[in-house]
Structures are given as structure tokens and as C-alpha cells.
Amino acid sequence: MIAEGRVALDGVVLDTPATILQSLNGVTVDGEPVAAPAAARLFLYHKPPGLLVTERDPGGRKTIYDQLPDDLPRLVPVGRLDLNTEGLLLMTTDGELKRQLELPATGVERAYRARAYGPITQEQLEELIHGVEIEGIRYGSINANLERRTGANVWIEMILTEGKNREVRRVLEYLGLKVSRLIRTRYGPFLLGDLAVGEIGEVKQHDVVSFRKDPTRKGGGEAPKLVEKPRPQQRGMQQIPSAPKAPIPKPQPARRITKTSANRADKAAFAEPTRQAQPGRDPVVLTKATKVKRFYDAKPKAGTGAGTEPVAPRAIAPGQRPKVFSPELGRNVRAKPGRTATPTEAAERKPAKATPRTAGKARAAPSKPARVKIHKSRTRK
């Protein structure tokens, strides 16, 4: 572009690229001013195991770009993670920010959690604070701590600042351990946190600016804003737009009911039985007044009221016995057929005359005749 004479500075066409610029002010391309560079954006990606951190693979294996949403800008990874390593991977749109994060001279810490198989002690891990040389490669200071043991496996936390190729695995293999799982949990002040596997979130702009001012600070700031991946539409299914939601009415404050307002509403209801309640004035929703039924308002039965003729008894069919009240059963029963009593039975049924009592003397109870037992089967009076 410079050789073609398309770039100019303050109206003068540049003929050499060896030009130092303090800013882009006055620089034009084909007569159009060059826009200011966009602000750097930083993303946190929870890389799952089994993906390569590269744009394309000649062997046809899956990469992280096959799993990222399509609406993201062009992103470059900060550092790399192995095929079987999982956890936090930073991705940015700015090459200068990428270089600042990767340089060991910046002193940005990386934190890992490793699950390994084999015997190890905390004293052996503390020796790594002075660094170690393996096969002619010098690895810097590593802060390693034994978290816990689960059977023959151990969980180890390691914090380092260099991030050389396969550094964690090689150091633990040097100590006689076999790494079965490796997770990166932190990169500088940015934490993996609750970011689910395969999700990506964008860091707030003010956190990016504060990091560039102080790269060695700790603390993750605010949680990243998640970027949702669009769901693929099923074949043969037509997406129907959802109906607009109706606005939710605001709840009205309940009106306080006092004794005076309740009495006033009762009087108005009985004075105007057909009046409907007014929500804005009546504290209670009233309906049509109902008159209370009292015992003296009951209607008399037919034939029993005043001014009516007595009802004649029901006629008895021929051969049917009338009903009489039985005090023992407490109800009406059919009378038994009558039989003419003999003169002897009539005399026996006549009640005996009562004997007059003498004042001051109690009537003696009749004595029972004594019985004398003379035989098992006979008795004599």
C-alpha cells in the first residue's frame, strides 16, 4: 500500500515504511482517515478435554474453534493447553494484550490442580520452590501444595509464572508421579469459577483496563458475561414467533377496614338491598342483603293456623286396624284385634279398691309364704 502511494500523513504521501507514528491522527488510506483501534476484548473459555488449541488440524481432529459460537469476533488464544488438559483458556482480540499475558517477565501467575498416581510428600513438593532442571531444561520456581489423598491418588495444587510446554506434567513425572487429570483454575486475576464446561464469557472492560495497569494483581473482579451459543433448529420444524406477553398489572394497596367504615357499609346495604358494592368506596364487597330467618317467621302448616277448620281424621278402610301410640316403643303401631272378655276376666281386670292409709304409719309390705323343701322334685307350702 505504501509502495502504491495509497498511504499519506498530513496530506504527504509516504514512500517508506520506516516512519515513526505517535498516533494515527492525520494518517489516511486512499484519502480516508484511518479509524482508531477498537478496545481490546478478553474472553474466558472453559476448555473441555479432547480439543486442540489451534485454528485447524491437518489430522482432522476437533479444535476449540469447532465448539465456539459463530457470532464471536476473531479470537486468538493466550498460551496453549494440551489435548487432555482442561480448564481456563483466555482468548482475546488484541495481539498486544496476548503478548502481555504470555511473557514470563510480566509475572502473571497460572494455577493448576493435578490428580496424580503415586507416593509423594509435602517436603518433596516444597523443594520445587527453588526450581528444578530436567533434561537440560531449567524450570523456574513452583509453589506446590498437597491438597488431599483419595486412595492411591493425590490432588496437588501448583502455581507457576513461566508456563513452558508441558511444564506441570514433566515436573510431576520427574517426582515419580503419573498425571491422570490436569485442570487450569486461574490465569492472573481471572478465575475459572462456576463457568460450565464448553461455555465462554466476556470479561468486563474495566477489568481489562485495570489488569493492563497492574498485571500482577490478584482477584477476579466481576463475573464474566456469558455468550450463549445458538441452538440448532431441528429439521422439519418451523420456528413460530411467540405471542407478546401481556403487561402485569401493579398490585393495588389494600384499603384499611375500620369499625366506622364497616358499620357505614352495613347500614347502606340494608337501606338499599339491591345496591352493588363500589370497589373504590366500600371496604368490603357487598352483595344483595339477605334477611335473617327467625323462628317466629316460619309459616304455619296447613290446617294448624288460626282461622282454619280442624282437619278430619283419615278414614279407616274396612278390615284395617287403627294406629295407636305405644309408650314402650315410642311410636304409633297397629292396634291388636279386640276380643270380648268373659265376666270372670272383666272382674279380675277391675282395679282393687285402695286401702286408706293411717296417718303416721307406713304400710307393711305383703309377706311371702315360706316354702319348705322336702324333696328334690316336690315342695310344700
Q: Amino acid identity, residue 127?
A: E
b/e string for 343-372 if b means 16 or more Cβ within 10 A? eeeeeeeeeeeeeeeeeeeeeeeeeeeeee
Cα–Cα dist 381/373, whole Å: 9
Characterize the bridge pairing of strands 86-92 and 178-187: parallel
**Quick one: how far is CA 293 from the chain centroid?**
52
Provide DSSP, 134-156: ETTEEE---EEEEEEEETTEEEE
Q: Which of 264, 263, 262, 287 is nearest to 276 (CA)?
A: 287
Question: 57, 82, 94, 214: which is the annotated catalytic residue?
Answer: 82
Of all helices (H) and strands (E), which one includes residue 114? Answer: strand 110-117
Cα–Cα dist 327/176, whole Å: 109
Of all helices (H) and strands (E), which one includes residue 99? Answer: helix 95-102
Cα–Cα dist 86/194, whole Å: 14
The question of whether 266 is a catalytic residue gets the answer no
Q: What is the 3-state secondary structure (H, E, C) of 154-175?
A: EEEEEEECCCCCCHHHHHHHHC
What is the number of other CB atoms lying within 10 angstroms of the CB of residue 261?
15
Radius of gyration of the chain (CA): 54
SS3 content of the chain, % helix, strand, coil (to 5): 15, 25, 60
Residues labelled as active-site residues: 82
